Amino acid sequence: MEYRNLGDTGLKVSVISMGCEGFDGKSEEETTSDLSYLLDRGLNFIDIYSPEPELRKHISAAYKNRRHEIILQSHLCAVMIKDQYKRTRDIKLVKSGFETMLKQLDTDYIDVGMIHYVDSLEDWNAIENGPIREYAEQMKTEGKILHLGMSSHNPQVAIKAARSGFIEVILFSINPCYDMQPAGEDVEQLWADESYDHTLHNQDSERKIFYELCESKGIGIDVMKTFGGGDILSEKMSPFGKAFTPVQCIHYALTRPAVAAVMLGCKTQAEWDSAIAYCEATDAAKDYAEALTGMDKFTFEGHCMYCGHCAPCPVSIDVAAVTKFLNLTIAEGMIPETVREHYQLLKHHASECIACGSCERNCPFNVQIIENMKKAAEVFGL
């Protein structure tokens, strides 16, 4: 299993991690069997967004003697009212729901406390300046939450959260299709057929800014909707008209800046084996560039997709990293100090580029890499 830093939290999480959907509807015995199977294979990170009592109790019973092996991410503002799931902003319900969650999960603390499902700017502003943030920070002070996070599908909201100073982890929906959609509050539009009826060009600029901003600020991203509800895995259902493999989808998400883990909702141990096989997959099996190129309705021309085809560089420049830091300065209209520091820590810098052109010949998206290296050398002075 491969492990990554979850931003600057100090937590190291397995790149293949567990969404709670795969445990939904299972008995305590089935849940214990599945969770033990996954822990034995090195998965150590689980997201429990659902407030369903039996689900929580079965998972807590399953990790009863192995709590120390698990990084537990759970959600504030997700509660059960009259046996129905509800997302709430009522602070009384948020508080009682959190205490209920700790009891049902049989734990004194959660490693990552997510403010649940924030997709509108109005909602985010109310949370940032209201009692929910105050309560979440109080729980962190008391040690009941170790790190604060937020879940969202809207890059505009996610950018605000990344710049807020108190959000450390963001659970975000990432796959090649969603990355082409502009920001919006209606999550249904992310997979609506009509959203892909017109020609789409490149990754949405706000999503790109969000990923790079998180990396520069040390905010960890974990991923939901890696397979787009399964549509991307089907040639018939995929908006691209071409099926991606699970390995390609996982690799796409894991090559976005700041992404530490994908939260998968596999139902069977065989499905989990297929996902875990990502860690042993060949570069050819992971390569999603071919799936993104040559499609009439879409073009990624001139845009770095971090696919790695530019490597190896004859003078060992990490071309994707340099491009990422350059793009962030352009998006910010300045050089954030953290970006400057991260750039300086690279072993090789853009000024070392010999303009041999090997990277450009390898790039499937025709990115003007040599020009980017010149710009980066000017911007950073290295």
The tens digit of pLDDT for each residue in 52-74 reads 999 999 999 999 989 999 999 99
Helix (H) or strand (E) holding 4: strand 3-5
- Report residue 166's pLDDT band, with 50, 70 and 90 as the boundaries: very high
Angle between helices 155-162 and 205-217 (to 10 degrees): 20
Asked if the model's pLDDT at residue 193 lies above 60, the reply is no
Beta-carbon contacts of residue 219 (< 8 Å; ≥ 6 apart): 7, 8, 162, 167, 168, 169, 170, 213, 258
Structure tokens given for 265? 């909702």
**Average pLDDT, integer, range 10-23:** 95
pLDDT digits (tens, 9 = 90+) for 196-210: 555 555 566 788 889
pLDDT of residue 230: 72
**What is residue 204's predicted lDDT score, i.e. its pLDDT?**
65
pLDDT of residue 147: 98
Q: Which residues contact 72 (CB under 8 A, 6 or more apart)?
A: 46, 48, 105, 107, 110, 111, 112
Report the pLDDT value the prediction gives residue 15, as an integer from 0 to 100: 97
Angle at 182 between CA 177 and CA 185, to 5 degrees: 105
To the nearest whole number, what is the mean pLDDT of the chain? Answer: 87
- Going by C-alpha positions, the residue among 24, 7, 23, 6 that lies closest to residue 15 is 6
Rounded to an integer, the average pLDDT of 326-354 is 83
Q: What is the pLDDT of residues 217-233, one digit of tens each?
A: 999 999 998 887 677 77
Greater confidence (197 vs 234) lies with 234
Q: Which three-class secondary structure state does DSSP give residue 366? A: coil
96 vs 112: CA distance, rounded Å? 18
Is the pTM for the entire model greater than 0.75?
Answer: yes
**Average pLDDT score over residue span 106-119:** 95
Question: What was the pLDDT predicted at 23?
Answer: 92
What length does the chain have? Answer: 382
> What letter does residue 277 receive in the DSSP assignment?
G
Residue 257 or 297, more confident: 257
Confidence of residue 175 (pLDDT cuts 50, 70, 90): confident
Residue 143 has pLDDT above 90, yes or no: yes
Q: Which residue has the higher pLDDT, 341 or 260?
A: 260
CATH number given to 3-288 = 3.20.20.100
User: pLDDT class for 299, splitting at 50, 70, 90?
Assistant: low
> What one-letter code names the amino acid at 166?
F
Q: What are 323-338's pLDDT values in tens digits?
A: 888 877 876 678 877 7
Query: What pairing do the DSSP bridges indicate for beta strands 12-14 and 3-5?
Result: antiparallel
Domain ranges of the chain: 3-288, 319-380
What φ, ψ does residue 329 adopt, rounded to 5°?
-65, -35
- How much is the pLDDT for 250? 94
Q: Out of 35-49, 237-251, 276-290, give the one with best mean pLDDT.
A: 35-49
Residue 115 CA from chain centroid, whole number: 15
